[in-house]
Amino acid sequence: MINGIKPLDRSLRWGMVGGGGTSQIGYIHRSSAQRDGTFTLMAGAFDVDAERGKAFGRALGVDENRCYASYQALFAGEADREDGIEAVSIATPNNTHFEICRAALEAGLHVVCEKPLCFTSEEAQILADLCSINHKIIGVTYGYAGHQLIHQARAMIAEGLLGDIRIINMSFSHGFHNDAVELDNPSTKWRVDPKYVGPSYVLGDLATHPLFIAETMVPELSIKRLMCTRQSFVKSRAPLEDNAYVLMEYDNGAVGSMWCSAVNCGSMHGQKVRVIGSKASLEWWDEQPNQLRYEVQGEPVRIIERGMGYLTPRALEEDRIGGGHPEGLFEAWSNLYRRFAIAMDATDRADRALLENFWYPDVHAGLQGVRWVENCVRSAESGASWVEFR
Ligand code: NAD
């Protein structure tokens, strides 16, 4: 249980790039990083508009000398200080992630980066190599994966309660962009422009979330080949897709499907992962994250509740209030940030024993998401043909 006791004897000096006052995702980064006393916000380059970013940083209570005009100025300025930042979070549009991550690692910082990590697997590999060379980590904010019941599902699957895993059905299909809302919404505008998002829209923006949740629940599965068909129902978005279907074959004979969409009218998030085995199935839905459906063939459905004594120790480890009280996305993100801090501290101390079995979405999880999108785009562009996963 998490009860406010600090997991580390220090708080990491922390900065942000992006996540400014008008951003969608900046606040959940700040709230989650600071929830458990593991990070203290000391500096930032919060906005593409330098003056607006400085004013926002001051309003957050950051020392005005440490509110910088750009990420380059942030890394240089902090490197010159004895109390300079040790870690940075990157919450900017996707086209900037690679350059900012690389610069941060070269400046000797640990990194938390938004998904998708970058545009190509070559770039992601460069970042992974830099992490190894510089003894730094990148944590990737696949925030939903911090929900406790995903780890309950992982434990139940590992215990064999589902039998042999046969089918994984995944979806993240909301309806918020059924029209060209990007015409008046800056946060959506860059999401449908290849200059900012690279080769895909919903495959990278949405599908990488349930993909990582499924990888967390069933880590031993590895994709052998896949096929993808994608559509731009709002025509001005072409060549980027606002809807896609992906079929996958895994190397143990299991199969999987992904439906990602921004035009699923009426749906809020529609993010579900259903794992089907030879004896039973488990299903998790991000709109009811405190419940996990456990369906044994021939028996009534069981609803497993978060925070209850019957859960596995791993699923209870990050319980903050006990069963019945709903926890949400902010708690899931806080669980991830807590883990990022523990992994950063252990990396600084070269504590290999801790790191060996310590779960968090790391640079390899980021690389896998980028690689998956690349394979989907390759398949879609070759007429939705099956492609070997590489
Ligand atoms: P947004 O457009 O709402 O905000 C982007 C912010 O970055 C703005 O404050 C902007 O001024 C700032 N910015 C842009 N370029 C910058 C630069 N070079 N230097 C400093 N600041 C800069 O975007 P958003 O919706 O908050 O998305 C940001 C990132 O977060 C994207 O990569 C997106 O995919 C990701 N995201 C992740 C989740 C999640 O669940 N993990 C959810 C939403 C968004």
* Domains of the chain: residue spans and CATH: 12-144+357-362 (3.40.50.720), 148-321+367-388 (3.30.360.10)
Quickly list H helices, the chain: 26-35, 50-60, 71-79, 97-106, 121-134, 148-158, 186-189, 194-197, 202, 208-217, 313-317, 329-348, 352-356, 363-381
Residue 378: how many CB atoms within 10 A of its CB?
A: 17
**Ligand 1 atom having least distance to the Cα of 190:** 2
The residue type found at 324 is G
Task: Please state whether the predicted TM-score (pTM) of the whole model is above 0.90.
Answer: yes
What is this model's ipTM? 0.99
Q: Is 20 in the pocket of ligand 1 (CB under 6 A)?
A: yes
The pLDDT score that the predictor gives to residue 44 is 98
The Cα–Cα gap between 290 and 328 comes to 8
Q: Whose CA is nearest to atom 24 of ligand 1?
A: 24
Question: Which DSSP string corresponds to 26-87?
Answer: HHHHHHHHHHTTSEEEEEEE--SSHHHHHHHHHHHT--GGGB-SSHHHHHHHHHTSTT--SE
- What pLDDT digit, counting tens, does each position of 325-343 carry? 999 999 999 999 999 999 9
- Six-digit token string for 318: 């990050």
- What pLDDT digit, counting tens, does each position of 342-367 carry? 999 999 999 999 999 999 999 999 99
Q: Is 103 in the pocket of ligand 1 (CB under 6 A)?
A: no
**Ligand 1 atom having least distance to the Cα of 144:** 40
Mutate-to-test residue for ligand 1 from 48, 51, 71, highest number of ligand atoms within 8 A of CB:
48
- What pLDDT digit, counting tens, does each position of 216-257 carry? 999 999 999 999 999 999 999 999 999 999 999 999 999 999
